[in-house]
């Protein structure tokens, strides 16, 4: 009964939040894109302050440049390491200056190249404890042993050169899926960056069994609850589509040297994306509850 009420309330709220409700399959395609998009460099650029984009068209890689070195967020595939190197070079950033590697979650398209980059640069790899078992089991084309991850926990801070990144456990997509927050400075103002790990439901994932949310379904609920406690005026995501990068970059490029508002400053963007992902979860959960009803009867 509690689960049915929970689903009913969420679906009612969901109907009021969006004209189009993205399904799990639609969100997957929106985020991941084609194989070509996963491996084709997106124009490298400064997002805001000392935060830069050096990833591909559909897989985000961010770098935070500090006086003491660089923090890299999401190494993506090993085949994308040359893309990251070239993109950093175009921005005047030294790949060899990477000191810390962190990531969004333990899937190969986001953290496969951790070991390769750590070996090439001597950087320290860090991850939330809940994701480390899956990261250690990850196999790569190079066959390199996984790095010895420094263990992080929910709320831990990663510090380098005056920058502080805070790890927030937002589980569901993986057990240790991580949403990162940090403060950056631009034009004398402080902005709150939030990098969403992901709350998408993986294809074929069971959320409901025996008349109730199963363990993974409960994990997603905890993840969404945690995400609703966070906020930021510069929302980003582990996939560029999550923060409308192509659209925002076009506006940024159009500015050129002219003064104008940075399009990445988007106070409503985080909640909009959170609603999209939560609605997708609710649709999938409702479908599973409905499918289970005849069996229950």
pLDDT digits (tens, 9 = 90+) for 239-294: 999 999 999 999 999 988 778 899 999 999 999 999 999 999 999 999 999 888 76
Tell which residue, 178, 160, 177, has the closest CA to residue 50.
160
Pick the more confident residue, 190 or 254: 190
Residue whose C-alpha is closest to residue 117's, from 69, 74, 160? 74
Instruction: Specify the pLDDT at position 286.
Output: 92
Q: What pLDDT, on the 0 to 100 scale, is given for residue 8? A: 54
What total of structural domains would you count in the chain? Answer: 1
Q: Which residue in 106, 33, 94 sits closest to 69, CA to CA?
A: 94
Q: Which helix (H) or strand (E) holds 104?
A: none
Per-residue pLDDT reduced to its tens digit, 81-137: 999 999 999 999 999 999 999 999 999 999 999 999 999 999 999 999 999 999 999
Q: What is the CATH number of the domain that holds 241?
A: 3.60.15.10
Average pLDDT over residues 169-177: 97
Q: What domain range is 40 assigned to?
A: 2-296
Percent with pLDDT over 70 in the chain: 92
Residue 162 φ then ψ, to 5°: 90, -5
Confidence label for 24 from pLDDT (cuts 50, 70 and 90): confident
In a 13 Å sphere around the CA of 152, the CA atoms on its Cβ side amount to 29
Q: Which of 9-13, 107-111, 157-161, 228-232 has the lowest mean pLDDT?
A: 9-13
Say whether pTM exceeds 0.85. yes
The dihedral built from the CA positions of residue 247, 251, 252 and 253, taken in this order, carries a sign that is: positive
Banded pLDDT at 297 (limits 50, 70, 90): very low
Burial class (CB in 10 A: 0-12, 13-18, 19+), 84: buried
Which tokens hold the place of 284? 């999938």
């Amino acid at each position: 009964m509690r689960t049915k009420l929970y689903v009913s309330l969420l679906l009612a709220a969901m109907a009021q939040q969006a004209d189009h409700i993205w399904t799990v399959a639609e969100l997957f395609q929106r985020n991941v894109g084609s194989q070509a998009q996963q491996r084709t460099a997106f124009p490298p650029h400064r997002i805001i302050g000392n935060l830069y984009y050096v990833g591909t068209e559909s897989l985000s890689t961010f770098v935070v440049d500090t006086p003491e070195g660089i923090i890299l967020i999401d190494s993506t595939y090993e085949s994308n390491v040359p893309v990251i190197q070239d993109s950093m070079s175009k921005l005047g950033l030294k790949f060899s200056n990477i000191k810390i590697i962190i990531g969004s979650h333990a899937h190969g398209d986001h953290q496969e190249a951790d070991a390769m980059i750590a070996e090439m640069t001597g950087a320290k790899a860090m991850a939330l404890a809940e994701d480390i078992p899956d990261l250690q089991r990850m196999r790569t084309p190079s066959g390199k042993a996984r790095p010895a991850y420094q263990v992080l926990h929910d709320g831990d801070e990663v510090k380098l050169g005056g920058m502080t990144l805070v790890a927030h456990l937002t589980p569901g997509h993986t057990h240790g899926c991580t949403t990162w927050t940090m403060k950056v400075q631009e034009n004398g103002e402080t902005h709150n960056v939030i990098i969403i790990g992901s709350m998408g439901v993986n294809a074929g994932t069971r959320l409901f069994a025996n008349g109730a949310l199963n363990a993974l379904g409960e994990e997603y609920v905890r993840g969404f609850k945690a995400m609703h406690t966070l906020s930021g005026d510069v929302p980003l995501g582990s996939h560029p589509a999550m923060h409308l990068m192509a659209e925002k970059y076009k506006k940024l490029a159009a500015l050129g040297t002219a003064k104008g508002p940075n399009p990445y400053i988007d106070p409503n963007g985080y909640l909009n994306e959170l609603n999209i992902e939560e609605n997708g979860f609710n649709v999938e959960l409702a479908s599973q509850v409905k499918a289970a009803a005849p069996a229950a009867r």
